[in-house]
A = this chain, B = another copy of it.
Amino acid sequence: MTTDFAATRALFDLPDGITYLDGNSLGPLPRSAAARVASCVTDEWGRLLIRGWNKAGWMDQPARLGDRIGRLIDAVPGTVVMGDTLSIKVYQALASALEMNPARRVILSDTGNFPSDLYMAEGLCRTLGAGYRLKTVAPEDVLSAIDDSVAVTLITEVDYRTGRRHDMAAITARAREMGTLTVWDLAHSAGAFAVDVTGAGVDFAVGCTYKYLNSGPGGPAFIYVAPRHAEAARPALSGWLGHEAPFAFDLTYRPGAGIERMRVGTPPVLQMAALEAALDVWDQVDLDDLRARSLSLQDQFIAGVEERIPGLTLATPRPHPLRGSQVSFRHPQGYAIMQALIAEGVIGDFRSPDILRFGITPLYIDQDDIARAVDVLARIMASGAWDRPEFHHRAKVT
């Protein structure tokens, strides 16, 4: 397949005058999502009412959409299911993995992980007691820190701040060698480049859909369980929709078949509708094309900034294999600079303490967007226009 990125761009409803480099935080609105959500509200909820669970397929949607995401991460059908938030899915995966490795007590993660993953692990260890603990090392030390004390690694493949990418295959191989299970957080991977959970031998994977998968604010998360663990993984969050027979209303829990047991409560049907529409875009995308174009746009951006703008330090690794699909620069006044950029219609975001992040999402951004972003950034930096009081005012959400 040769992907037509002008065609994919046309599938998104992008506001005029905006260069959107924040799709690594919240993807833009796919045009078809508006109609799909409206139909879900008006025709399904409105007309079918309770019958929507059967007639509109609401009940099967978490598995059906899970399979579609499975194709983007090389998971076989029946191994991915949607629901809840990424933090909840992290908890589920970790709890199952720890139970499957009962002689060990250590969760290994790294300081580049997204904090919520660490917090969820911390909470789980506290609940488990019995010596369970979370050990965090520097990202570059993960591989060597995997030893026979580690029950499970909890690693986010791509660093949310710098875009630095871990070597999933190497870490997973080392973990398997050491008898350690792996939980991979694909928040900045799924839809950013081809992931191969099957080929790497990953045990569990989780991710969100509102970044590179464009499902909208608060879209559902996903969880993958390797087929070899399907019947062994026992959910700690044992909700009724993960029961073998939810509508039998038994008083005791029996885990459902395979991945179904990772469902918990009632799925968010309106968010699922948006996700369903957003996933259609992927039918015309070749992930190798996507990766090639992402790297080319990243390189264009890095070269443009480094050529024209002194004072910004590249935070993203230079070697392609070490990159995700974002480019980050450091600057002590990063927050104000980013606000000034946003005021000019170039939207990226800021991560404490000094990181300017730019999502490079070829589905809907192109060379002109990158050129414009570099131009505007160069102008703001040269003029000092970022140093105005309003740009230093910290909003609640950064």
Contacts and interface: CB of A to CB of B under 8 A. Distances in A.
Given A34-B41, A120-B239, A240-B115, A342 B51 contact: yes
Given A22-B49, A218-B271, A123 B235 contact: yes
13 contacts: A51-B347, A53-B217, A86-B265, A88-B239, A115-B243, A118-B251, A120-B239, A122-B252, A122-B253, A123-B235, A127-B236, A128-B128, A247-B397
Interface of A: 13, 15, 18, 20, 22, 25-26, 28-29, 33-34, 37-38, 41-42, 44-47, 49-54, 58-60, 84-88, 91, 95, 111, 114-116, 118-120, 122-124, 126-130, 136, 161, 208, 210, 216-221, 235-241, 243, 247-253, 264-272, 274, 342, 347, 349, 351-352, 395-398
A42 B34 contact: yes
Given A44-B217, A124-B236, A218-B271, 20 more contacts: A13-B46, A29-B46, A51-B342, A53-B217, A58-B217, A59-B396, A85-B266, A88-B264, A88-B265, A95-B127, A111-B251, A115-B250, A118-B253, A119-B243, A120-B238, A120-B239, A220-B268, A221-B265, A249-B352, A268-B270
- Top 7 A-B pairs ranked by shortest CB distance? A85-B265, A116-B240, A217-B269, A123-B238, A218-B268, A87-B239, A87-B265
A112 to B, nearest CB: 10
A41 to B, nearest CB: 5
A267 B210 CA distance: 11
Contacts of A51: 342, 347
Contacts of A49: 15, 18, 20, 22, 26, 28, 347
A128 to B, nearest CB: 6
A219 B267 CA distance: 8
A88 B235 CA distance: 13
Interface-centre pick from A25, A44, A247 (highest chain B CB count, 10 A): A247
A153 to B, nearest CB: 17
Nearest to A219: B268
Given A20-B49, A37-B37, A49-B22, A122 B238 contact: yes
Contacts of A126: 236
B210 A266 contact: yes
A120 B270 CA distance: 25
A346 B129 CA distance: 52
A121 to B, nearest CB: 9
A45 B30 CA distance: 10
A270 B37 contact: yes
A239 B119 contact: yes
Interface-centre pick from A38, A50, A221, A272 (highest chain B CB count, 10 A): A50
